[in-house]
Amino acid sequence: MRLSLPVSIIAALPIVRRLQEHHYEAVFVGGSVRDTVLGLPVKDVDIATSARPEQVLKLFERCIPTGLQHGTITVIHDSVSYEVTTFRQESVYEAHRKPESVLYITDLEGDLLRRDFTMNAMALTDKGELLDPFGGLRDLKRGTIRCVGDADSRFQEDALRMLRAIRFIGVYQLSPALQTWKALIRHRGLMKYIAMERVQAELDKMLAGEAPQRGLHFVADSGLLLYLKEPFLEETERLLKGNYRSKNPVMLFSRLNQLKSVDLRWAAIAIGTNMSLEAVLHMLRVLRFSNNRIKSITAIVAIHKEILMHAEETDERKLHLSWISAIIRYGERSAIEWLEVARTISEPQQTLPADLLTRLADWLNKMPISSLKQLDVCGNDLTAHVKRPAGPWVSEWLNKLLLMTASGGLPNKRMQLIEQAIKWDEEDNNHE
C-alpha cells in the first residue's frame, strides 16, 4: 500500500535519503505513520535506521546525543528536530518501565516488534510504501487497539502502556481488543511503578482529545487510577469505584470537548462529579500539577460551589453582591472561565439555570473594576485623610471600597472614595 506523504514527513526526507545513500536502511515510524494513515495532522516525525548511533553522528552536522544509551540521536535539519533511532531489541525492563539495556539489530521487523500497539508498529518508506507486519492498518480500520504480540508481556514491560491505551482509545475513538483489555485489567496493579508526572501527562493528552468523555469512560471502567503510586483521598477513590462509574461519563460530559482548555475540562470533571474542594486540591497535588494550574482549576470549582449556595437567593442584591465578591476573591479570568464551564456541564444536579448564568455574565461585564490595583485610592490616601493610626482597618476598608465600587454602589473617584472612608470613621467615632 502506498500513501501520499504529508508535508512534515516530506521535510524530513533528506535525512532518510542521506542514510540510504550510505547504505543504511531508514524509514519513518511511530505516531507520524499512524496519523498519516488516519489522515490526521502529523506532529513529531521519528526515523528508525539500521545505522548505529555513532554512524548517525558522523553523517549529520547538527546532532544532539539525546538518548545515546538507547540508540537515539536528535538530528536537526532546517531548524526542525528529528529523533533518529537505531533498530533495536530491548532487554528485561527495569521496574516495569524502562529496559535495562538495548541490543542493536539490523532487522526492521524486529524493531517494530518491541513497540506497544499494532497501530504504532507500522513504518513508512521514503516512497510512501506502508510496512505493516502486525496488522496495524487492519486494526485501525476496525477501530481496534491491540498490543503487538503478547499483551501480558507488553504491559509488564512498561506499565505506562496501559494508560497510553486508554488515552489512544479516547483520542482515536477506538475499542480495545478483548485480550488486550483482559491483560490491562490483570496487570493494572503495576501502575504503582509509574511516576505521577507521567500519569498526569497521559491524562492531559487524553482530555485534550476530540472525545475526552470516551477516554473518561474507559479510565473509570479500567480502574487504573485506583492503583497509582500515591493514593487519592477516600472520597475520590469512592467516586472512582462507584458513583462515577455508575453514571455514564459519555453522557455526563457529552459536551466536554467544547471546552478548549484542558484545565477547563479538569474543572468541569470536578464540578460534574461533585468533588469537594479538598478532594480536587489533593488530586491535583498527587498528579503533580503546577501551582499555577492548581490555583486556576480550584478557583473555578470554588466559584461554582459558592454560586450553588446562593443560586436560590430571592434577594437580587444579595445574589449580585455574592457574585461580585467571588469575582474579586478569585479573579475576573476565573469567573469568565467558570461561566464557560457552567454552560457546558450537562449533569442536572450541577447545572444552573441559563437565565441565571446570563444575569451573572451581564453583571460581570458591567463591573467597572475588579481588583484593588484598579481602585483610585491606596492605603496612604486613607491614612492621610482619616485621623487614626495605620492598622488592619486600612486593608479592610480598601476591600469594602472595592466591593462597593465593583458592584456599582460608588464611583471609582478618588475624592468620593476618601469621603466614604471619612464617613465610616465618623460613624465609628459616634458609636464610641
Return per-residue pLDDT of the chain as tens, 432 residues. 899 999 999 999 999 999 999 999 999 999 999 999 999 999 899 999 999 999 999 999 999 998 777 889 999 999 999 999 999 986 555 655 566 667 899 999 999 998 999 999 999 999 999 999 999 999 999 999 999 999 999 999 999 999 999 999 999 999 999 999 999 999 999 999 999 999 999 999 999 988 898 999 899 899 999 999 999 999 998 888 864 554 555 556 788 999 999 999 999 999 988 899 999 999 999 999 999 999 999 999 999 999 988 887 778 889 999 999 999 999 999 999 999 999 888 555 456 888 899 999 999 999 999 999 999 999 999 999 988 889 999 999 999 999 999 999 999 999 999 999 999 998 877 655
Strands (E), 108-220: 123-124, 130-131, 144-145, 175-176
343 with 287, same domain: the answer is yes
225 with 169, same domain: the answer is yes
Answer with the one of 118, 135, 152 that is the final residue of a domain. Answer: 135
225 with 349, same domain: the answer is no
241 is a domain residue? no
CB 188 within 8 A of CB 224: yes
395 with 269, same domain: the answer is no
Measure Cα distances from 139 to 31, 128, 148, 174 in Å.
15, 20, 11, 9
- Tally of domains in the chain: 4
246 is a domain residue? no
245 is a domain residue? no
CATH label of the domain that carries residue 410: 1.10.246.80
Task: Report the 10 Å Cβ neighbour count for 52.
Answer: 17
Which triple of cell numbers denotes residue 378? 491606596
362 with 379, same domain: the answer is no
Answer with the one of 180, 197, 230 that is the final residue of a domain. Answer: 230
181 with 281, same domain: the answer is no
Through-space distance between the first and last CA atoms of the chain, rounded to whole angstroms: 91
Q: Three-class SS of residue 143?
A: coil
331 with 382, same domain: the answer is no
CB 124 within 8 A of CB 27: yes
240 is a domain residue? no
Indicate the angle between helix axes 316-330 and 392-406, nearest 10 degrees.
120
Dist. CA 299–CA 59, nearest whole Å: 53
What global pTM score does this model have?
0.87
Distance of CA 308 to the CA centre of its chain: 26
418 is a domain residue? yes
Range of the domain at 38: 1-135
